[in-house]
Amino acid sequence: MRRALPALVILFAAGLALFWWITAPGAVPPDKFAGLTGDRTRGEQVFWAAGCASCHAAENATGDDKLKLGGGQRFPSDFGTFRAPNISPDPQFGIGGWSVIELANAMMRGVSPEGAHYYPAFPYTSYANAAPQDVVDLKMFLDTLPPVATPSEAHELSFPFTIRRLLGGWKFLFANKGWVMEGDLSPELTRGRYLVEALGHCGECHTPRNALGGARRDAWLGGAPNPGGQGTIPNITPARLTWSAQDIAYYLETGFTPEFDTAGGHMAPVIENLAKLPAEDRAAIAAYLKAVPPVE
């Protein structure tokens, strides 16, 4: 036993070092953003495409109140209930003091300015594919919104999910996996992929997850249980979404289905966001949804 003890100590130390290395928070390369300047008008389009108001404005906010991003909405899951934080430009309670790089690290790596992991209720696994210019433009737009002097509320989680360092292991397994749809795509499909897989983060809701909460990319957009416990989130691959591309684009603009129904639930604010985008963007999303592999 005495002879084995040093080897066991070495193995334990090596394992601990490996765990610490794997779970360390990452950061975006700052040179990706060198020389980029923000544009507020383009940033507003990124804001609506990314659905920022749907989570960070007050629940059921309408009109100009959707631009008051004080957070507070509750998002139940199998791991606990997450609370959307304040991302208004308030310098004390929001992100008013953040740099572009700090916003990029949050969006694309899921890391706070203090170096802590964010929970993947924040869809950074999708935003990881965001274009650096879009992040810079979004920061420019966010800085012009009303500051909200409301502290962010704590998540409602139990042990061991309160240990943020473990999220580094989750990211190692499930984050930064690149595009789902690959290949030589047309400009329209490339734009649709970007809006669906990156900014619009559609897969975060419409894709089923494994026991650890990782998206099952083999069933991409194939539908999933509603984390709130009420019903299911639909399969939007061609296996179930049989509407024409024109019908899909019209639905994304108006909320009206070919069956004369209307969008409801969490999809209603998504429609409000997408309606503010150019018609070409909604057409690109529709083209992508018609081209994505069907999931039965």
Q: What is the pLDDT of residue 1?
A: 60
Tell me the pTM. 0.91
Look up tokens 């199998």; give the residue: 78
Distance (Å, whole) CA 8 – CA 225: 44
The pLDDT-based confidence of 7 (bands split at 50, 70, 90) is low
Percentage of the chain with pLDDT > 70? 96
Judge whether 240 and 246 are in contact, CB under 8 Å.
no
Q: What is the pLDDT of residue 292?
A: 96
The pLDDT-based confidence of 59 (bands split at 50, 70, 90) is confident
The pLDDT-based confidence of 2 (bands split at 50, 70, 90) is low
φ and ψ of 268, to 5 deg: -60, -50
